[in-house]
Amino acid sequence: MYNLNDKVAIVTGAGRKNGIGAAIAEELAKNGVQIVVADICASVSDLPHAGNPGWEELTAVANHLSTYNIQAIPLIVDVTDSASIEKMIAEVKAKFGRLDILVNNAGAAVGPSPVLWMAEAAWRRTLEINATGTFLCCKHALPLMIEGEKWGRIINISSLAATKPKPNVSAYAASKAAVVALTQSLAQEVAEYGITANAILPGDVDTDMKQWGLQLEAWAGGVEKEVVVETAVGKIPLGRLATPTDIAQSVAFLASDQASFITGQILQITGGRELTQ
């Protein structure tokens, strides 16, 4: 356990009960962090994507977090819209007066397909959510973070796709690579304020979004989903998909004082997947 009592965090993309964002929020709550869990709670596009949680699921996540004797506030936020983010930051300031930890987890793979047939709208929307959304949340959260003591943590959730992209996910891979570059540049800019910025690159994580992606691979390859899963797991040296908690525990570490001298780094949580062909 880490001593993060009374720190205040925002975790975006936290509305799925079995998702990475909710697991991150829970791990922070276990360590005494007051949390805003944010999600869009609406469809992000008419193009194919894994879908989003509703308000009921987001509030259920917040209610569960409250069992750790911390305050957990659910907020509907569109990370591609500055006004929506500014409203969230204003609510955090009004409620807590500070912001210590920002976890940019909101992400999507909209309309994945080969570049030859990819809809321009799919490319743009994926980049807007994953790359521009991360940028906007950092931009609007930083003033409140800087107002506080000389301490802060920005943790951006990228993907192994940023460094080991697969076919048919060019927009997703490009957007997640942008998150890596943003993180490394940002880390140098905010160091003077005692704020660190790091990125986590999850590999294959057993979430609704991943299961949707595995099903798409199965359809594209004309095979059963079980075959695709077996192939994916076979390329992971540790022999299993990651759980959302595997990612969350790494976020808690990067948010802690034990990671105070770590910034601008890219942490791959993959079970060794990047080591295989």
Residues serving a catalytic function are: 172
Residue 121 CA to residue 196 CA, distance in Å, equals 34
What would the 3-class secondary structure string for the chain be? CCCCCCCEEEEECCCCCCCHHHHHHHHHHHCCCEEEEEECCCCCCCCCCCCCCCHHHHHHHHHHHHHHCCCEEEEECCCCCHHHHHHHHHHHHHHHCCCCEEEECCCCCCCCCCHHHCCHHHHHHHHHHHHHHHHHHHHHHHHHHHHCCCCEEEEEECCHHHCCCCCCCHHHHHHHHHHHHHHHHHHHHHHHHCEEEEEEEECCECCHHHHHHHHHHHHHHCCCHHHHHHHHHHCCCCCCCECHHHHHHHHHHHHCHHHCCCCCCEEEECCCHHHCC
Q: In angstroms, how far is the first alpha carbon of the chain from the final one? A: 36
Helical pair 120-127 and 170-190, crossing angle rounded to 10 deg: 30
